């Protein structure tokens, strides 16, 4: 009994030790199972398939959904709710999103685990290791590019340098923003070279009744019929670089094209002189004196009286006609005011006007050669903006807009334009000749005029003299060849139409069309534009005031320095004063290139080295 009591504690201890070992064994087995599960998860081919499928879907979404746009653009296209969802989930910039980079990293881990699991420690497995390693390196390079790579641009002016570039960024508010990135060096533009191809020209015909344009061959001696019309055009001569020399002549005593030769006399000499044509360029402007002199031809004395009496009442207006509704309405030129067209679904808003369309000078310096009004038309299909030209009321037929049933014309812009001091030289068909001096749009003085006499008007300096009068003004024209190089080419054209044959020279620098006498057919000889042949930039890289690299770059031939690649991307299209550079830094490129290198060696080993070694080993075994 005593011995039995003494052995009881020892037995209890042994039971406890056995229980502890059993628990530890179960714990280790559980940990091993969990480890095996994680390892099997990363080694699973199914995981690779799932990741690749998700990435394929992401790539498809990246092509379907607009990338790197502002929140306003997404809202306009998809609606606010969907646009907000896209921005939160980074579907607006999929390939630079954190979840796409996570997928790439997860795929890398899967490839590494699969490679380790299937690796047999033999030399023949080298190709297998290299090909799998190459995919891992390429994916890692992609992650580095998406997360650490930068791309932007900067304009560098000739003779200047920059040490930064700008990158685009969509901020948290969904707005487009630019971030300035500093460079560890400076880029200097020593020279910008823009080479252009020789300009080309074409002959454009327009049939007004058909509202149809057609480009014709510019081939000397070829008679061409304009499709769908009774007009035939023949180019009879061509001069590559022409100059028109003109001598004024009077062709008739009938007032078919009245003109006067005006002289503005200073104290000691003629300050200005030239022809004013009643039906063409009928004015002269002296900006220094804020003086404008106009020549106006009128059929009768009654119209002369009306013209003088209505000087203070001249106003510009916009006229609107709606086809099919018999509606014609006039509106004053009041800008940024909405005019509702009664009885219709349309409204108008006049945005701006110019005195000479295409003239970039301030309005006060523009001559009223080509007055135009920019108008916004709002209707059932939204809004459209169009230019309405006073001298070309049928412009909309040649350039139709959204609302073809809305006809807009303007008038009175050129007539209502006056300088501070305006002199109007009136002449009528029955011989009445009157000069009117108008100051601040009020008639201050009138007097009759005669050829050869001098007149002092108001407080303007100098005198006015009408030196000559031609009832039927014309030019004796002669086209002179300046050189054999292409400069300002001109063609001599014959047009055969319903009113017989006419001939005329067409110059490529003439911006206006040449019309056939029936005003239904027009020709324009114009340049198609100079296409750019090459544009290059001579760049220097400077560090600490020293030139460390230089190169003349062109498209697809960049300058590389310290991991940065500097591309020629654009240029100043007007003056050629600056060069547009694209600057890219991609630290993932060496890793990607290493991956491609490993892939090449792996493929070579699998298809050439491995079969050779196996064949050699088999041969040695047989011996």
Q: Of 229, 233, 241, whose CA–CA distance to 216 is shortest? A: 233
pLDDT for res 388: 93
> CB-side exposure of 481: number of CA atoms within 13 Å?
10
What is the C-alpha separation between 325 and 233, in angstroms, rounded?
40
Do residues 318 and 339 touch, judged by C-beta distance below 8 A? no
Q: How many CB atoms are closer than 10 A to CB 149?
A: 16
Angle 237-242-243 from CA coordinates, rounded to 5°: 130
491 pLDDT more than 50: yes
What is the C-alpha separation between 44 and 484, in angstroms, rounded?
77
Q: Of 95, 97, 131, 51, whose CA–CA distance to 602 is shortest? A: 131
Instruction: Dump the DSSP string for 283-344.
Output: EEEETTTTEEEEEEEESSHHHHHHHHHTGGG---EEEEEETTTTEEEEEE--BT-EEE-TTS
Highest mean pLDDT among 75-84, 398-407, 442-451: 442-451
Determine if the pTM surpasses 0.75.
no
SS3 of 29, please?
Answer: helix
Number of H helices, E strands in the chain: 11, 34
Do residues 389 and 395 touch, judged by C-beta distance below 8 A? yes
Angle at which helix 126-148 crosses helix 98-117, to 10 degrees, equals 170
Give tens-digit pLDDT for 22-46.
556 555 565 566 667 888 888 888 8
What is the C-alpha separation between 132 and 605, in angstroms, rounded?
13
Angle 443-449-450 from CA coordinates, rounded to 5°: 170
Q: How many CB atoms are closer than 10 A to CB 476?
A: 10
411 pLDDT more than 90: no
Do residues 106 and 88 touch, judged by C-beta distance below 8 A? no
SS3 of 610, please?
Answer: helix
Give tens-digit pLDDT for 43-81.
888 888 898 899 889 888 888 888 878 888 888 888 888
Question: Containing H/E element for 36?
Answer: helix 2-43
Residues 6+ apart with CB under 8 A from 199: 486, 527, 528, 529, 530
Do residues 331 and 339 touch, judged by C-beta distance below 8 A? yes
Question: Containing H/E element for 6?
Answer: helix 2-43
Q: How many CB atoms are closer than 10 A to CB 484?
A: 9
pLDDT for res 1: 43
CATH: 1.25.40, 1.10.10, 2.60.98, 3.40.30. Which one for 150-196+532-585? Answer: 2.60.98
559 pLDDT more than 90: yes
> CB-side exposure of 583: number of CA atoms within 13 Å?
26
Give tens-digit pLDDT for 125-182.
888 888 888 888 888 888 888 778 888 999 999 999 999 999 887 777 777 778 889 9
Residues 6+ apart with CB under 8 A from 269: none
Where along the chain do the CATH 2.60.98 domains lie? 150-196+532-585
**Residue where the block lists tokens 């299937």:** 118
Question: Containing H/E element for 67?
Answer: none
508 pLDDT more than 80: yes
Give tens-digit pLDDT for 97-123.
888 888 888 888 888 888 888 777 788
Segment 304-329 mean pLDDT = 82
Give tens-digit pLDDT for 239-255.
999 998 889 999 999 99
């Amino acid at each position: 009994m005593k011995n039995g009591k003494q052995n009881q504690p020892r037995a209890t201890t042994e039971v406890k030790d056995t229980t502890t070992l059993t628990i530890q064994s179960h714990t280790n087995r559980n940990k091993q199972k969990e480890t095996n599960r994680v390892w099997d998860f990363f080694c699973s081919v199914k995981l690779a398939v799932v990741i690749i499928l998700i990435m394929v879907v992401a790539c498809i979404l990246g092509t379907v959904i607009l990338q790197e746009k502002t929140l306003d653009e997404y809202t306009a296209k998809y609606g606010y709710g969907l646009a907000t969802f896209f921005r939160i989930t980074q579907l607006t910039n999929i390939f630079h999103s954190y979840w796409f980079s996570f997928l790439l990293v997860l795929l890398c881990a899967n490839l590494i685990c699969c490679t380790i699991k299937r690796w047999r420690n033999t030399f023949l497995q080298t190709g297998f290791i290299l090909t799998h390693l190459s995919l891992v390196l390429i994916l890692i390079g992609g992650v580095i590019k998406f997360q650490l790579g930068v791309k932007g641009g900067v304009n560098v002016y000739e003779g200047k340098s920059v040490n930064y570039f700008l990158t685009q960024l969509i901020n948290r508010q969904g707005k487009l923003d630019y971030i300035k990135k500093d460079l560890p060096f400076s880029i200097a533009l020593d020279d910008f070279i823009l080479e252009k191809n020789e300009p080309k020209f074409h002959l454009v015909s327009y049939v007004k009744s058909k509202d149809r344009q057609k480009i014709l061959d510019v081939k000397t001696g070829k008679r061409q019929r304009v499709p769908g019309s009774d007009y035939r055009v023949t180019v009879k001569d061509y001069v590559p670089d022409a100059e028109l020399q003109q001598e004024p002549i009077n062709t008739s005593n009938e007032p078919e094209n009245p003109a006067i030769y005006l002289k503005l006399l200073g104290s000691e000499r003629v300050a200005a002189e030239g022809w004013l044509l009643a039906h063409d360029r009928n004015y002269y402007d002296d900006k220094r004196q804020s003086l404008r002199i106009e020549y106006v031809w009128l059929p009768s004395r009654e119209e002369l009286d009306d013209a003088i009496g209505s000087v203070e009442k001249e106003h510009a207006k916009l006229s609107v006609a709606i086809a099919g509704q018999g509606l014609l309405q006039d509106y004053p030129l009041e800008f940024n005011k909405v005019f509702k067209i009664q009885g219709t679904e349309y409204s108008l808003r006049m945005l701006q006007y110019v005195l000479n369309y295409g003239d970039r000078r301030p309005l006060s310096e523009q001559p009223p050669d080509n007055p135009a009004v920019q108008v916004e038309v709002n209707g059932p299909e939204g809004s459209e903006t169009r230019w309405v030209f006073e001298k070309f009321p049928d412009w909309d037929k040649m350039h139709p807009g959204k609302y073809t049933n809305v006809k807009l014309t303007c008038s009175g812009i050129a007539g209502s334009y006056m300088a501070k001091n305006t002199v109007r030289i009136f002449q009528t068909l029955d011989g009445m000749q009157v000069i009117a001096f108008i100051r601040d749009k009020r008639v201050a003085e009138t007097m009759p005029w005669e050829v050869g006499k001098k007149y002092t008007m108001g407080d303007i300096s100098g005198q006015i003299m009408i030196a000559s009068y031609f009832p039927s003004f014309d030019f004796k024209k002669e086209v002179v060849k300046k050189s054999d190089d292409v400069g300002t080419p001109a063609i001599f054209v014959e047009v055969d139409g319903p009113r017989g044959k006419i001939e005329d020279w067409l110059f490529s620098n003439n911006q206006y069309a040449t019309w056939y006498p029936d005003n239904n057919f027009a020709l324009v000889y114009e340049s198609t534009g100079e296409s750019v042949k090459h544009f290059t930039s001579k760049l220097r890289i400077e560090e600490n005031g020293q030139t460390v690299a230089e190169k003349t770059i062109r498209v697809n031939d960049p300058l590389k320095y310290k991991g940065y690649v500097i591309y020629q991307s654009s240029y100043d299209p007007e003056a050629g004063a600056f060069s547009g550079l694209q600057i890219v830094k991609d630290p993932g490129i060496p890793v990607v290139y290493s991956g491609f290198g490993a892939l090449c060696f792996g493929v070579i080993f699998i298809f050439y080295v491995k079969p050779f070694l196996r064949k050699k080993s088999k041969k040695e075994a047989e011996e």
